[in-house]
Amino acid sequence: MSVQVLAGDIGGTHTRLCLAEKKAEKINIVHEQVYASQQYPDLLSLLHDFLKTHSGFSFEAACLAVAGPVREQQAQVTNLPWRLDAAQLKKTLGIKQLALINDFQALGYGLQTLDEAQLFSLQTGRVEKQGRCALIGAGTGLGISSLVYQHGRYRPYPSEGGHVGFAPADDEQIRLLQYLQASLNYVAYEHILSGSGLQHIFRFFLEETGAPSAFSDAILQAPDPAVEISRHALLDDDPVAVQALSCFVRIYGAQAGNVALNYLPAGGLYIGGGIAPKIIEALNSDRFLEAFHHKGVMTELMQSFPVRVIMEEKTGLLGAAAFAFQQS
């Protein structure tokens, strides 16, 4: 009989929940549901809805991946007013094993379930067996983590590196920083490398040009302006959108390079998050790797790291399930 678990990937925009089973060491998602996080006052309400829908399913353990720091099995979701407590959730839901982990820690566990077809290579580099790996990913926020090989497997370690201060690389980025400082007390990379960050960049270029772009009104009034900015940039039919995405990609490459210098990922640097697969055409360009490589005396070292994009959108959910199976 297969073991079954409950897994969740809790983000500021969407919360994914699933019931999963493991057969022959392969994790299979049996039932999955995606919720708009901000439509619920708290996670418990959302979990009750999900479990009510799948009341006939029994599971032995649960793991919830949270977009935010986890301390002593308690967490505050960074872009939501949700406070989570594993002990309370276990008691209320009647679950024996329930763990909270950081969402990019879960991404690290999920990375180990993927095959080559679910990855896109930006730079081949030289893979060092059992070498350290690093993750960076822009979505609602910016996540960063690392993986260290220990006791026969990779163990992911979380961080809040997306909140380090933004360091501009040229005059244009200095002006972008000054533009953001006018409205933000502290400008972190997450304020730029995220869905809302792409909107900030677009508005900055609109202000610099002093005139609306071809689709600016439609873009800014869309339910998700970042999606529209990316779409028009990739279609090359709106010059301000093109400028914005180009700037976004260069800053993404530079910060990915910073992460690589911090962790020296001889096993590979992996780009996750919801945005990367949607703009893969822009990432797979000279702009990203030029910024990634531009590290002075470390340029040659930067060219040696494998760089890959995670194309599987359920990687974090698979990672949460993998962690739950380890606890069951």
| pLDDT confidence bin for 3, thresholds 50/70/90 | confident
Give residue 6's pLDDT. Answer: 95
Region 117-122: what's the mean pLDDT? 98
Give residue 58's pLDDT. Answer: 78
Residue 273: pLDDT over 70: yes
Give residue 2's pLDDT. Answer: 67
Residue with tokens 């982990």: 101
Rounded to 5°, the CA angle 169-294-136 comes to 80
Residue 186: pLDDT over 80: yes
Region 79-89: what's the mean pLDDT? 93
Give residue 74's pLDDT. Answer: 96
Residue 26: pLDDT over 60: yes
Region 280-305: what's the mean pLDDT? 97
C-beta separation of 147 from 156 below 8 A:
yes
C-alpha torsion angle, residues 135, 139, 140, 144 (rounded to 10)? 10
C-beta separation of 227 from 265 below 8 A:
no
Greatest mean pLDDT among 12-16, 35-39, 197-201, 209-213 lies in: 197-201
| pLDDT confidence bin for 149, thresholds 50/70/90 | very high
Residue 190: pLDDT over 60: yes
Distance of CA 82 to the CA centre of its chain: 19
Q: Which fold has domain 3-110+314-327?
A: Nucleotidyltransferase; domain 5 (3.30.420)
User: What is the Cα–Cα distance from 219 to 65, expressed in whole angstroms?
Assistant: 31
Residue 117: pLDDT over 80: yes
Q: Which residues, in sequence order, are bridge partners of residue 84? A: 75
b/e sequence 113-133, b meaning 16+ C-beta within 10 Å = bbeeebbbebbebeebeebbb
When the pLDDT of each residue in the chain is averaged and rounded to a whole number, the result is: 95
User: What is the Cα–Cα distance from 157 to 19, expressed in whole angstroms?
Assistant: 25
Residue 237: pLDDT over 60: yes
Give residue 280's pLDDT. Answer: 98
More confident residue, 23 or 255: 255
Region 151-158: what's the mean pLDDT? 95
> What pTM was computed for the model?
0.95
Residue 219: pLDDT over 80: yes
Residue 225: pLDDT over 90: yes
Where in the chain do CATH 3.30.420.40 domains reside? 3-110+314-327
Q: Which fold has domain 115-311?
A: Hexokinase; domain 1 (3.40.367)
Give residue 178's pLDDT. Answer: 98
Region 3-9: what's the mean pLDDT? 92
DSSP 233: H
Give residue 146's pLDDT. Answer: 98
Residue 55: pLDDT over 60: yes
More confident residue, 231 or 209: 231
Where in the chain do CATH 3.40.367.20 domains reside? 115-311
Residue type, 34: V
Region 105-130: what's the mean pLDDT? 96
Region 173-180: what's the mean pLDDT? 98
DSSP run (H or E) holding 254: helix 239-263
Region 135-145: what's the mean pLDDT? 96
